[in-house]
Amino acid sequence: MSSSEKNPFAFPDSQVAGVYRAIQERRDMRHFRPGKIDAEILHKLLDAAHHAPSVGLMQPWRFIRITSDPLRQKIYDLVQEERLETAHALGERESEFLRLKVEGIKQCGELLIANLCDNRERFIFGRRTLPEMDLASVACAIQNLWLAARAEGLGMGWVSIFDPVKLATLLHLPAGAKPIAIICLGYVDEFYTSPMLVEAGWAKERPLAELMMENQWTDSV
Amino acid sequence: MSSSEKNPFAFPDSQVAGVYRAIQERRDMRHFRPGKIDAEILHKLLDAAHHAPSVGLMQPWRFIRITSDPLRQKIYDLVQEERLETAHALGERESEFLRLKVEGIKQCGELLIANLCDNRERFIFGRRTLPEMDLASVACAIQNLWLAARAEGLGMGWVSIFDPVKLATLLHLPAGAKPIAIICLGYVDEFYTSPMLVEAGWAKERPLAELMMENQWTDSV
């Protein structure tokens, strides 16, 4: 196909623009304002997650919706506990880290836990040498949810500051299953213009060109 | 916000439709037709990947573009080698597996390798208890690329049937870096209507409702 020929499978321009816009304007949100998410929209977001690719079609994602306020408080407490452990492990950046807002668990309209299912060892397709592809599949599902949420005007944050064993116990997960994300979803007053960790001065972004190589690893990266 | 009130951050309908359409029509492609991908579109796709979320903003993805045909052949050979190992490990489904097309490495217009960078242990934010969040970040980047490619009318396949140690050696990766995806990208004659593994009778999809729970794990899942 020459570049002047129109690709028949390409979406119309406005739909293509929507995809790139969601990708570029998606942010990891930690600031929310209260408000229940419409049940129909929540279902569309979860269905978007469920349409993710998965290695060998194993669909390893399991979502737990948190509707109990006491349980939400316990999840918040677990994150606070690990936040202090992380701060300590960061050494000289401890106090700087403690000034960052790292989650919006108590403010967000919906709280979801994304988990890896149990009995994953049965799935060998695409995983014999890379068993961690199950996690990659769940991450793709979460990214789908994130992009769909952004298009709908909703913010999402992925919190991974927790002890997975303690959270698994709290949610009565069976042996072999594992929580990998606390997902905060909700309305926002604004989306961060840049990633919040850039705005807060915690980290700088590197340009794509520095992370691209050709045919082999090159030392400048 | 009441549900009758318009969310000011929501995209226009056609852009929202583009996001959901990309999510729903994305397929893991193994059938390609030849044709170079326009350099500008390739850059847009890689830039979409680069706009992924990453834990603590570590941006752990490193992409290697394969432009050498002898190297492409060697990568193909590695996949064939692991394909036989996987078939053997599958036991009674060995011959069924060997009838499946699991990659399009020699036909696709562009071949990319997605890798985890080296020296990841320096990054503690969001990873003290879940170090595998680096892989989750790279998976989100690959999902961005996948969705953008689908919107542009291009097919993509994620191949994880390879020995990562052998591929790392082939690409001269430093200690600590790891290849996690062979990405086939290119023009297609058609997109599969359903996931190819469903069309081929390898696996059935489970509905979302079976993978959703409330407040705790439930045994019926």
pLDDT digits (tens, 9 = 90+) for A172-217: 999 999 999 999 999 999 999 999 999 999 999 999 999 999 999 9
3-state SS class at A180:
strand
| Per-residue confidence band for A6, with pLDDT thresholds at 50, 70 and 90 | confident
> What letter does residue A187 receive in the DSSP assignment?
B
Instruction: Using a pLDDT cut of 90, give the percent of chain B over it.
Output: 96
Task: Find chain A residues with C-beta within 8 A of B63's C-beta.
Answer: 211-213
CA-nearest residue to B45 within chain A is A20
pLDDT of residue A1: 53
In this structure, the strands spanning A212-214 and B61-66 are parallel
| Per-residue confidence band for A131, with pLDDT thresholds at 50, 70 and 90 | very high
Whether the predicted pLDDT of B102 surpasses 80: yes
pLDDT of residue B6: 83
Query: Residue A9: which of B20, B71, B188 has the nearest Cβ?
Result: B188
Query: Residue A140: which of B129, B143, B177 has the nearest Cβ?
Result: B143
Starting at the earlier edge strand, list the strands of the sheet with A110-116: A155-159, A178-186, A110-116, A61-66, B212-214
Predicted confidence (pLDDT) per residue in B187-206, tens digit: 999 999 999 999 999 999 99
Cβ atoms of A82 and A162 closer than 8 Å = yes
Across chain B, mean pLDDT equals 96
Predicted confidence (pLDDT) per residue in A13-68, tens digit: 999 999 999 999 999 999 999 999 999 999 999 999 999 999 999 999 999 999 99
Whether the predicted pLDDT of A3 surpasses 80: no
* C-alpha distances in Å from residue B58, one per residue of A13, B44, B52, B130, B138: 32, 21, 11, 14, 10
3-state SS class at A111:
strand
pLDDT of residue B1: 53
The answer for residues whose C-beta is within 8 angstroms of residue B208's C-beta and 6 or more apart is A46, A47, A50
Side chain identity, residue A71: L
Predicted confidence (pLDDT) per residue in B129-180, tens digit: 999 999 999 999 999 999 999 999 999 999 999 999 999 999 999 999 999 9
- Find the mean pLDDT for residues B109-137: 97
Residue B78 distance to chain A (closest CA, Å)? 12
Predicted confidence (pLDDT) per residue in B67-83, tens digit: 999 999 999 999 999 99
B148/A19 touch (CB, cutoff 8 Å), yes or no: yes
Interaxial angle between packed helices B13-25 and A39-50, expressed in degrees from 0 to 180 and rounded to the nearest 10? 40
* Domains of chain A: residue spans and CATH: 27-193 (3.40.109.10)
| Per-residue confidence band for A111, with pLDDT thresholds at 50, 70 and 90 | very high
Number of A to B CB contacts under 8 A, please give it: 335
pLDDT of residue B103: 97
B136/A138 touch (CB, cutoff 8 Å), yes or no: yes
Closest Cα to residue A218, out of B179, B59, B64, B66?
A: B64
Task: Find chain A residues with C-beta within 8 A of B51's C-beta.
Answer: 23-24, 26
pLDDT of residue B55: 96
Across chain A, mean pLDDT equals 96
Predicted confidence (pLDDT) per residue in B21-37, tens digit: 999 999 999 999 999 99
| Per-residue confidence band for A219, with pLDDT thresholds at 50, 70 and 90 | confident
B143/A144 touch (CB, cutoff 8 Å), yes or no: yes
CA-nearest residue to A5 within chain B is B38
pLDDT of residue B219: 74
Residue A77 distance to chain B (closest CA, Å)? 16
CA-nearest residue to B70 within chain A is A215
- The model carries a pTM of 0.97
Torsion of CA A139, B199, B153, A148, to 10 degrees: -40
Whether the predicted pLDDT of B2 surpasses 90: no
B144/A52 touch (CB, cutoff 8 Å), yes or no: no
pLDDT of residue B119: 97
